[in-house]
Amino acid sequence: MRVLGINALFHDPSACLVVDGTLVAAAEEERFSRRKHGKRPVPFSAWELPEQAARWCLAQAGLRASDVDVVGYAYDPALAEPAESLGLHDPWDHLRQMYAREAPGFLAEALPGLDPAKVQFVRHHVAHAASAAYAAPNSATGSVLVLDGRGEATSHLAGRRVGAELQTLASQRLPHSLGLFYEDLTAHLGFLRSSDEYKVMALASYGSPRMAAELRRRVYSTEDGGFRTTGVDWTEFCPPRGADEAWSPAHADVAASAQLVLEDVLLDLARWLHGQTGDELLTMAGGTALNCVANSRIVREGPFSRVWVQPAAGDAGTALGAAVYLSAMHGDDPAPMGGADLGRGWSEAELEAWLKTAAVPYERPDDVADAVASALAQNQIVAWFQGRAEFGPRALGHRSLLAHPGHSGNLERLNDVKGREQFRPVAPMVLADRAPEIFTGGPFPSPYMLFVHDTKPEWRNRIPAVVHVDGTARLQTVDAAAEPLVAAMLRGFERRTGLPVVVNTSLNTAGRPMVDDPRDALECFGSAPVDLLALGPFVVRRGSVFGRGDGR
C-alpha cells in the first residue's frame, strides 16, 4: 500500500510517503520554497499545498502520482464547525473549511495523474496521535497525548494504541486550547504566533513564576481528562512588547508563570491518561510537545516509565501521521521511525558537481569527521551538511552548525550568524554512552532534542556555550551505530579537547528555513561567518575562498 500524507491547512505544509508501512520520505515545503514555515498561518493561505514536497516524496520512491493507492489529508472538514459556535474569533475561518473540502481537487491539479477519489480526510488530532503512537519504537501498546492550538473542533486528544487500533479516550473542545493559550502569549510578548513559542519557553528561564497562582484561576485541568483555558487577558499581567523592543523582567515573569501553569496542566493530563490505561509508554505529538521543558517534567514527575516524542511534533508531522494511520487502517504493519533523516540527500558525485558549479576551491580530506573535529578544536565554526535532511524543526547532525562548547562567547557568535536573540540557548550534542556523565534530570537516550536536562555542576564551566542561564541544556544524544559519522566527529573533538560535547544548532541564517540542498549550504557559507563547510566528504575553507581564514 502506497500512502501519501499531506499537511496543508494551518501551517508548516508538508508531505510524507509510506510504502507497505515503512516511512520512505517526509519533508516540509519550506525546505523547497525557502519560505520559513511554508506560509503564514492565515485562512487565506489554507488552499496552498506542499506541492514540491509531495512531488519529491513520490520521486524519491520512483512513483508517479497515479501509483499512489491512497492520500491522507490531515484535517477532516466534516468535523469542523463555524468558528463562532466554537467560541473562536476567526471571521475568515469558513475559508479554511471550504479549501479543505476542495483539497482533493486541488491535489489532483498539483499532482497530475492523482485520482481525487483517493483522497481521504483524517481527523487532525488522529493524524498527530498516529504520528507518535505508530512511529515510536516498541509501541504496539501505549498511551498517546496530543496537544496543539486547534484541529477541527478540539485542541487535544488523549488516546491509546493497541495493535493496529487507535482509541480516543478524551478530547477537549475549543475554545479551550493550551496551544492557543501559549500562542496568544507569544504574540503578546512581541514574537511571531505559531512560530516563536520556543522563544517564550527560553525567556521563561529568566523570570520568576510569581503570577502562576493568578493564572491558575483561569487555566486548569478538569476531572474528565480535559482543561479550561479561557478568560486570560495578558494585558492584566504585563504590557505588550513590540517586536523590536527590549524585554523587561515583567515579560520574563509572565513567560515563567505561563510555562509553569502549562507544565502543571500537562502533568494532570498525563496522570489522568495513565489512570485510564496503566500503560508504561506515553507517546506525544502536537505543537505543545515541542515544549522540551514541559516534556522533561512529564518524564520526571509523570506516571509513565517511558516517554517518546515524535520529532516533527508540530503540524508538519500530521502528514506523517495521516499516511501511517491510513497505512495501518488498510492492513499494513507500521514500522517504527528509525530516525528523522527522511528528507533530501545527494550522492558524492552530485555534491562535487555543485562545488564545481560554484567554482569554489575544495578538498577531500581522508577523514572528513576528523578534519571537522580539528577545525572545531581550533574554535572554528563549521557548517555540517551530511546525509538526508531532517524532518521536523531540529537539526540533528545532518544540517547543523557546529562549534566548540568550551568558549562562552560562541553562543553570541552563533546567535550572530543566525541573527537570533541573545537570550536563546544553543544545544549540545554528545555521544549517547557519555551523556549520563555530564547531564542529569532527563531521559536517555534523547536523540531528537525534545527534552531538557540539567548540566552537572562540575561540567557547567567546561561547556559554558551550551548551558542555559538556569543550568539546563537541550541535548541531543548520538547513537554511534545510527550516526557513525557524527560519532566519529565527536570522538575526534574529544581526543583534541577532552570534551565529548559539541555545540549543535540548525544550519540556517536569520529568518530562513534550514539549509536543505547543496546550493542553500553554499549560500549560507558565503553569506555568514562560517569557517568551514563540510559538504559530504568535501570541505570548503573560508580562508581558501575569501583570503583571511577567520572571517573577522
State the residues that interact with Fe ion by CB under 5 A.
Answer: 148, 315
Whose Cβ is closer to Fe ion: residue 315's or residue 520's?
A: 315
Q: Are 409 and 415 in contact (CB under 8 A)?
A: no
288 vs 327, beta carbon nearer Fe ion:
288
| Least spacing, CB of residue 79 vs Fe ion, in Å | 14
> Would you give the DSSP letter of residue 164?
T
Instruction: Work out how close the CB of 265 gets to Fe ion at its nearest, in angstroms, rounded to a whole number.
Output: 18
Q: Are the CB atoms for 406 and 502 separated by under 8 Å?
A: no
Specify the residue, 103 or 382, whose C-beta has the smaller distance to Fe ion: 103
> Would you say 180 or 475 has its CB closer to Fe ion?
180
Minimum Å gap between C-beta 124 and Fe ion is 6
Nearest distance in Å: CB 191, Fe ion: 19
Instruction: Give the nearest distance from C-beta 155 to Fe ion in angstroms.
Output: 9
Measured CA to CA, the distance from residue 264 to residue 124 in angstroms comes to: 25
Report the residue number, 93 or 148, with the smaller CB distance to Fe ion: 148
- Please identify, using beta-carbon distances, which residue of 79 and 482 lies nearer to Fe ion: 79
Q: Is 19 or 309 the residue whose CB approaches Fe ion more closely?
A: 309
The distance of closest approach from Cβ of residue 183 to Fe ion in the complex, given in angstroms and rounded to an integer, is 11
d(CA 5, CA 68): 11
Are residues 290 and 197 in contact, defined by beta-carbon separation less than 8 angstroms? yes
Q: Are 492 and 370 in contact (CB under 8 A)?
A: yes
Q: How many CB atoms lie within 10 A of CB 134?
A: 31
The backbone torsions φ and ψ at residue 525, rounded to the nearest 5 degrees and listed phi first, read -60, -40
Q: Is residue 303 helix, strand or coil? A: coil
Residue whose grid cell is 475554545: 175
Nearest residue to Fe ion by CB is 148
Minimum distance from residue 286 beta carbon to Fe ion (Å): 6
d(CA 265, CA 220): 6
Contact 501, 509 (CB under 8 A): no
Calpha distance 263→218 (Å, rounded): 15
Is the peptide bond between 445 and the residue preceding it cis, with omega within 30 degrees of 0?
A: yes
